[in-house]
Amino acid sequence: MKVFELRVVTPEKTVVLPRIQSLVLDCPDGKRGILPGHAPALFEVAIGVLRCMDDTGEEHYFSIAGGIAEVTPRSVVVTTGSIEEAHEIDVERAKEALERAEKRLREKSAETDFVRAQTAILRALARLRASESLQRTKKK
């Protein structure tokens, strides 16, 4: 079975999954799938969910804060501001963050940083999607 190494680098930690057989990333132009032997590429990754399957068939879900992916035939390196594995996500905290950000946008105050509020919404939604994806996988 062909596999590749996935390495996700953040300012705080590095996550390494050495035997990945498939990877799906959220990108600004849609989802991007990567398999072993992929042609070299460099592309932008959006705030969203990173989904991969290891060589045992286990699926892993992560919430990531966007970034850059560097792809070679034998490895993928994603550089991002943060990553959270789905089972580590505090769902209630993510829901509260989503509510706070949506409230800031609704208030339309002169002091509201709309870009920051929109980014907070995207990050909260990514966390919730990653957590929900893991829960669906567990039910199978």
pLDDT over 70 (residue 33)? yes
pLDDT at 108 over 80: no
User: Could you tell me the pTM of the whole model?
Assistant: 0.87
To the question of domain 89-139 being in CATH 3.40.50.2300, the answer is no
Neighbours of 115 (CB within 10 A): 8
Whole-angstrom distance, CA of residue 2 vs CA of residue 24: 16
DSSP 38-75: PPPEEEEEEEEEEEEEETTS-EEEEEEEEEEEEE-SSE
CATH number (3.30.300.30, 2.60.40.420, 2.60.15.10, 3.10.20.30) of 4-86 reads: 2.60.15.10
Per residue in 117-134, pLDDT (tens digit) is 899 999 999 999 999 998
DSSP alpha helix (H) spans, the chain: 91-107, 114-139
3-state class of 10 per DSSP? Answer: coil
Residue range 52-96, pLDDT digits in tens: 999 999 999 999 999 999 999 999 999 999 999 999 999 999 999
